[in-house]
Amino acid sequence: MSQTAIIERAAGSMMKPIRVAVIGAGASGLVTAKYLRQAKQYFGILNIEVRIFEREDGVGGVYKYKVYEEAEMVSSKYLTAFSDFRVPKDLPDFLPVEDYVR
């Protein structure tokens, strides 16, 4: 089924919700879930349920779990941020990974 067909099927209906699973609570998974939850605003979808599945005990993906043991962030908080969720101004420009994930 095409994306357009799914949107047309769901728009304005009172049918069962579209259920979506997002695998992983890293940066990409969190952004995906955010936009799926806002689908009504962008596509007119009224009934959508989003569930994130994460195998670890918290969010952050490779930032939190350090897939590469010595990995460090090398970009500033201005470049490594979401447009609608900025790092507070009172924090340093280059955050430790643990602070960025929080």
pLDDT one digit per residue (tens) for the chain, 102 residues:
666 666 655 555 556 788 999 999 988 898 899 889 888 777 777 788 999 999 888 887 776 666 666 666 778 888 877 788 888 888 888 877 777 766
**Residues 78 and 50: beta-carbon distance below 8 Å:** no
pLDDT of 38: 86
List CB contacts of 40: < 8 A, sequence separation 6 or more. Answer: 46, 48
SS3 52: strand
Q: What are the beta bridge partners of residue 52?
A: 22
- Report the 10 Å Cβ neighbour count for 63: 17
Q: What residue ranges do the domains of the chain occupy?
A: 1-65, 72-102
pLDDT of 23: 96
pLDDT of 81: 78
- Both tokens of 96, joined, read 């430790």
